[in-house]
Structure 1
Amino acid sequence: MLSLGGMGIVVMGVFGGYLLAGGKMSVIIKALPFEFMMIGGAALGALLIANSMKVVKQTFGGVLRVIKGPKWKQKDYQDLLCLLYALANVYKKKGALGLEQHVEQPSESQIFQTYPKVLNDHFACAMICDTLRMMTLNLEDPHQIDDYIDRLLEKHHHEDMQGAQALQTTADALPALGIVAAVLGVIKTMASINEPPEVLGKLIGGALVGTFLGVFLAYGFVGPLSSRLSQIVEDDSRFYHVIKDVLVAIAQGAGPQLAVEIGRGNVPTAVQPSFFDLEQAVEQAPAVT
């Protein structure tokens, strides 16, 4: 919602200042649909040329992510730590065989079913289950597990950033596309050079709307959207880094309580559950049979 408010301020600030300075909207309104068609169409076409359909969908989905904000809230981090505590506790008490039933079919696991948002996140669920499955196969070297998860995180982060990068590329292109639209407007004006000055003035004004619109969209909307989407990707990635911290701690032999406390310490401050809130949540979690 903050992003939508910011967009409103951009529009009111630019056009409000223009009107207060004595500007008239009639020229802009008349030229805007055609200039937007040229600039917006060229930008969309360039986006399709430069990216796969997967990245294009991710780009438009990224705009919705900006409006919604980061995916993971404080309650989600608390649930994640409770889930990892329960798995670590099973691993400690029952060993690899006790853990196997939970990591082989997480959708049927009593532990995972208690925390559906984590279960429904494919990457988080797969990273937890695959890493613990490897540990049940006697891969218990913490350094190997650390390297393995780092490669997973790097791959996921690279793929998740593609939408933001595509938006930024589009933002970089918009001013130039605005110039293209303006040049076409100048060509149209030159073809009417025998018209009276008042007609030529309106044609030139309409041509300049193209330059204005390209710069306005680039720096007022698309560029900031790309920047905010990059921030959200970074914020959401911290969730997976907490998973890594807890799993590596388990591989190093830390007990369930210490392992989740290590993970809790690396949760972003703004959404970090307190020690006592997490302890209470763990105590209130359903018992695993």
Structure 2
Amino acid sequence: MIGIIGVIVIFIMVFGGYIAAGGKMAIILKSLPYELMIIGGAAIGAFVISNDVPAIRHTLKDIGKVFKGPTWRPEDYRDLLCLLFELIRLARQNPVGLEEHIEAPAESTIFANYPRILKDKEAIDLICDTLRSASMNYDDPHQVEEVLEKRMDSNRESALHSSHALQAMADGLPALGIVAAVLGVIKTMGSIDQPPEILGRLIGGALVGTFLGVFLAYGIVGPFAAKVGDVTQEDAHFYQLIREVLVANLHSHATNICIEVGRQNTPSHIRPSFSELEEALKDVKQREAV
């Protein structure tokens, strides 16, 4: 929602200020389709050249993050801690019983209680792979932490590609605006014998290209790239929480301590309170007792 508000404010302030100063939209609207074709077409073409098909699809999908915001809500972090609590406790009480849950999470009664988390393949794979490795005696906490850190760095770098691709497009748009403006000047020079009022309109139309390139770069595409990057970094906290809890488990801390380590390493604006988490864990224990 905040993304939509931001876009509306940009358009109102830029074009409202132009009109309030006595500017006429007619010359912009007349040149806009052709300038947009040159600038937008060249930008899209450069984007396609610079990225493969999966990256293009990924970027187009991630544009929605500008308006939707982060994937994970504060209650999802609470649910993740509850899920990890159930799995760690089961791993210590009944290691054999844990196997059926981590080998087939889609059929697990534990994972079924957390449908939003179950839909995320990376989160499920991260949890199951780490618990499976621990059951195979690959349980040195320092080695596991290093492996998980490298895995998450790789995933984060891949996820940030959309932001980098959009920023690269934003960086090129002002130059493409100049290209469109130069073409407009070339067109104007072909009408150099025309009266000043006609030449003025032609030059004004040519300058629309420069305006459009800079406006799209710093008013639209650049902020989109920054927002996609911020949302991606925000969502990365979810996977970092998994790492913190599972590594604490390998240090043989008590289950409640493992969960508290994860809670305290979660950023404050999405961190469940101690009492909120305590109530959620009580519900988990009651569900297990039934």
TM-score, structure 1 as length reference: 0.98
Q: Which residue of 1 aligns with 2:44?
A: 44
Q: How far 1:194 moved relative to its partner?
A: 1.1
Identical counterparts, % of pairs? 48
1:12 aligns with 2:12: yes
Q: Which residue of 2 aligns with 1:94?
A: 94
Counterpart-to-counterpart distance in 2, 1:4 and 1:57: 22
Q: Which amino acid aligns with 1:249?
A: A
Counterpart-to-counterpart distance in 2, 1:235 and 1:44: 28
Counterpart-to-counterpart distance in 2, 1:226 and 1:157: 15
Q: Which residue of 2 aligns with 1:150?
A: 149
Counterpart-to-counterpart distance in 1, 2:289 and 2:104: 15
User: Which residues in structure 2 correspond to 1:1-289 (within 5 Å)?
Assistant: 1-95=1-95, 97-285=96-284, 286-287=287-288
Q: Which amino acid aligns with 1:178?
A: G
Counterpart-to-counterpart distance in 1, 2:258 and 2:112: 22
Post-superposition CA distance 1:157-183 (Å, at most 9, x none)? 010000000000000000000000001
Q: Which amino acid aligns with 2:29?
A: I
Q: Which amino acid aligns with 2:23?
A: G
Unaligned runs of 5+ in 1: none
Equivalent position SS for 1:143:
helix
Q: How far 1:283 moved relative to its partner?
A: 1.4
Equivalent position SS for 1:270:
coil
Q: How far 1:92 moved relative to its partner?
A: 1.3
Alpha-carbon spacing, 1:69–1:288, altered in 2? closer, same or farther (3 Å):
farther
Post-superposition CA distance 1:87-122 (Å, at most 9, x none)? 010011113x12111110011111111101111101
> Is 1:88–1:255's contact at 8 Å kept on the other side of the alignment?
no
Worse-matched range after superposition: 225-234 or 54-63: 54-63
Post-superposition CA distance 1:235-284 (Å, at most 9, x none)? 00000000000000011101211101100111111111111111111111
Post-superposition CA distance 1:15-42 (Å, at most 9, x none)? 1111111111110010001101110110
Q: Which amino acid aligns with 1:59?
A: T
Counterpart-to-counterpart distance in 2, 1:65 and 1:16: 27
Counterpart-to-counterpart distance in 2, 1:65 and 1:21: 35
Q: Which amino acid aligns with 2:190?
A: A
TM-score, structure 2 as length reference: 0.98
> Is 1:111–1:288's contact at 8 Å kept on the other side of the alignment?
no
Counterpart-to-counterpart distance in 2, 1:54 and 1:250: 36
Q: How far 1:288 moved relative to its partner?
A: 7.5
Q: Which amino acid aligns with 1:199?
A: I
Unaligned runs of 5+ in 2: none
> Is 1:77–1:271's contact at 8 Å kept on the other side of the alignment?
yes
Runs of 4+ deviating beyond 2 Å? none
Alpha-carbon spacing, 1:288–1:198, altered in 2? closer, same or farther (3 Å):
farther
Counterpart-to-counterpart distance in 1, 2:115 and 2:136: 27
Number of aligned residues: 288
Post-superposition CA distance 1:102-160 (Å, at most 9, x none)? 11001111111110111110100000000100001011110111011011101100100
RMSD (CA atoms): 1.0
Counterpart-to-counterpart distance in 2, 1:33 and 1:98: 64
